[in-house]
Amino acid sequence: MGATMPSLVEHAHGGRTPAPLAWLLSAATALVLAAAMGIASSLRAWDDKRSLHRRLVRTCAVVAVLCPALAAARPAPLPICLVLVVLLAVPWSVAVTRRATWDVRP
């Protein structure tokens, strides 16, 4: 994802992100989310807190599917970055919220 940043800055004045750049950035984001799903399912804690991790995997999967949709829309460079940051924040928010409420449960 970081490799796309110089090109995004270069095209910052454009109304739309160039297609190869949008697809590369979105695919890299989806790949990070897929890796997070794979890592979560391989954790030893997966069996101990199965509902916590399953929700996280489902959330990552939904967000990973939204990434190519964003690439297809090809918004301007700043909005595509902001939307991807928000999309990456969704699984983290779910994980933190679920984890915090998990510890409170009896």
Contact residues for 37 (Cβ-Cβ < 8 A; gap 6+): 56, 57, 60, 61, 64
pLDDT value of residue 65:
93
pLDDT value of residue 52:
74
pLDDT tens by residue, the chain, 106 residues: 777 777 777 777 778 888 888 999 999 999 999 998 888 778 776 777 777 778 888 888 999 999 999 999 999 888 888 999 999 999 889 888 877 776 555 4
Question: Is 0.95 surpassed by the pTM of this model?
Answer: no
pLDDT value of residue 104:
54
CA distance 95 to 59: 9
